[in-house]
Amino acid sequence: MSKKCLGVREDTGDKCNRSASSDSDYCFMHQSQESNQRLQYLDEDVYYCPQDGEKLLYVPKKDCHRCKECRGLLCSAKKMGSDHVRKISQTNQIEHEEKCCSCLEGADLSIHEIEYRYDASSSTFLRSWRYEVSRIWNCNNCGSVWVEGNTKMVRGLSGLHLLEWVLTEEIGGPTWLEYQAILREARFEFEVEKERKRAKLELKLCNHVDDSGEKCNKPKSQKSNHDWDFCYKHQPK
């Protein structure tokens, strides 16, 4: 029998640190995992994050693997659901040279962009929409789906739960694909406006650039006897 419990946390996939029970390889909390065949072969059934190379952790509660670093998720198309996979396959597909992190094949791997938005305002009366894109890897060879990490947490949701919320079609509204097109257009407009504001702000900043190529971030001086293209500190001699 093992001295340390062979189980993992149901919600995170992290190894259990408790001692195993005297008559089991598992502690009292994880004895229900003894019959889980997948857990017994975790050391052989290993997957790595395609984004940062970290070993993925199996999460029994979600029946999928997760990356502890980037929060990416690897699950089966069956777990995702055929309707969700169908929606993903219809969205914008990008060119890539990646390989599936499950079967390590790339020929039948497609990567899709899913548009979504969230309210970044802390106020209940004002809306401050932010637009994001989540990339989903869909492997037709082994049926695996990889949800890229580093996505924003929205409404307390992240990863698979966030994706399920994003893929939900509102009753009485536009179709899901139509709404994706609306969000994509809104994101482009948001980025153009963001760049316009950045350029406007840039015009107000000092033109000095140091030896390392770093531009000064102080505002231009407005004094009548100063060169208005530079801040007070970097006035030409």
Going by C-beta distance under 8 Å and a sequence separation of 6 or more, which residues neighbour residue 183?
A: 115, 116, 117, 131
Q: Where are the beta strands (DSSP E) in 73-210?
A: 73-76, 93-94, 109-119, 129-139, 144-147
In the chain, % of residues over pLDDT 70: 94
Distance separating alpha carbons of residues 159 and 152, to the nearest angstrom: 9
> In the predicted model, is pLDDT for residue 209 greater than 80?
yes
The DSSP letter of residue 25 is S
* pLDDT given at position 204: 94
> In the predicted model, is pLDDT for residue 155 greater than 60?
no
Question: What is the reported pTM?
Answer: 0.73
The string of pLDDT tens digits covering residues 36-87 is: 877 777 777 899 999 889 999 998 888 889 998 888 889 887 888 888 888 8
The DSSP letter of residue 88 is H
